[in-house]
Structure 1
Amino acid sequence: MTNKVQRAEKFMRHAMAAHGSSVYLVALAQTRSEHDAQDVAQDVFCRLLTDATAFTSDEHLRAWLLRVTVNRCRELHRMPWRRRVDALDERAELSSPDVGTEDAALAELRADPVWQALRELPEKLRVVALLHYVEEYSTDQIARIVGCAPATVRTRLYRARRQMRQILEPNSEPKEESYEQASV
């Protein structure tokens, strides 16, 4: 069992400033809810505060944070109450009372057709597409973060591109993409 530690305030400020937006964006893509994404991001940084992992670089810290974010989102989706809440959300979409105070960047992101298409992808495709195209991780790095083989990541990226193309261009014919293009 690892010992609990209390990290320095300077370290935590750096981690949040440097990687907070990435953690939030991955959480938002996975949960599809601003409130859940905020909760997940808070949970991730609370875990960092007391975790004893010795980080060798800033990239190691970033990968650790994103891995914990993906795992926390999976835990959230497995909770029994989550299925009941999701069923209610599908039946009636309630308007948010604080829409007037919404951040302009978040509103712009929500209106972006690519972001909307990304949100429609299944979780496994969504997370690899986000990590590859937004966070600019290689397929090997993504494989370590999500816990699968690099070939699986390449397949998921291929499927994500294909599905997003169908979502964004519903009237176009599906274009065949070779395996070589999918592995780039």
Structure 2
Amino acid sequence: MTDELFLQAYDTYKNTVYAVIFNYLRSAEDASELSQDTFIKLYTYDGEFDSDEHMKAWLIRVAINGSKNHLRSRKHISSSPIPEDMSSDDRYETDEIIAEVMKLPEKYRVPIHLFYYEEYGISQIAEIL
């Protein structure tokens, strides 16, 4: 992967990857760290992607797997608020809605995020998860 292609992918998908991980871990610090790990895996990935959607799905899958591995290794879930310094474009529509979604069990939180915020269809979500 060229540096230019990587930077373009990072700019395009950094918020998506962060949001998916945050939905699993509920920790801004852990989400930042695992987002970084996800993009390191992209940078070192030797394969090719058929399309931008294929790359996005691959990144989401890597983010989900990393989150699950992190939860298994830590055996706990910490909770932290959404950082206040995120730009308005990066934040969800309302804090109340996201607060309610974050109360849901993991098996509901992630599909809701993928459906409403990433605009995946049900069959695509099933493949990703």
CA contact (8 A) 1:110 1:116 kept: no
Match of 2:126 among 143, 162, 168: 143
CA contact (8 A) 2:21 2:34 kept: yes
Match of 2:32 among 21, 32, 38: 38
Match of 2:4 among 1, 10, 19: 10
- After superposition, the Cα gap between the structure-2 partners of 1:75 and 1:111, relative to the gap in structure 1 and judged at 3 Å, is same
Larger Rg over CA atoms? 1
CA distance in 2, matches of 1:20, 1:108: 13
Task: Describe the SS at the equivalent of 1:52.
Answer: coil
- After superposition, the Cα gap between the structure-2 partners of 1:132 and 1:111, relative to the gap in structure 1 and judged at 3 Å, is closer
Match of 1:77 in 2: 71
Q: How does the TM-score come out when normalised to structure 2? A: 0.87
1:49 partnered with 2:43:
yes
CA contact (8 A) 2:15 2:90 kept: no
CA contact (8 A) 1:28 1:37 kept: yes
Match of 1:120 among 79, 83, 103: 103
- CA deviation after TM superposition for structure 1 residue 104, in Å: 4.9
CA RMSD of aligned residues (A): 2.5
- After superposition, the Cα gap between the structure-2 partners of 1:133 and 1:49, relative to the gap in structure 1 and judged at 3 Å, is same
CA distance in 2, matches of 1:28, 1:106: 17
- CA deviation after TM superposition for structure 1 residue 133, in Å: 0.8
CA distance in 1, matches of 2:34, 2:46: 20
Percent identity between matched residues is: 33
Task: Structure 2: state its 5+ residue gaps.
Answer: none
1:102 partnered with 2:85:
yes
- CA deviation after TM superposition for structure 1 residue 103, in Å: 3.1
Q: Deviations over 1:84-133 (max 9, x none)?
A: x64xx58xx8x9xxx8x733539964961110011111111111110011
1 or 2 for the larger relative contact order (CA 8 Å, sep ≥6)? 2
In proportion to residue count, which structure has more helix?
Answer: 1
CA contact (8 A) 1:19 1:62 kept: yes
CA distance in 2, matches of 1:66, 1:108: 19
Match of 1:132 among 94, 115, 129: 115
CA contact (8 A) 2:92 2:98 kept: yes
- After superposition, the Cα gap between the structure-2 partners of 1:142 and 1:108, relative to the gap in structure 1 and judged at 3 Å, is closer
Match of 1:19 in 2: 13
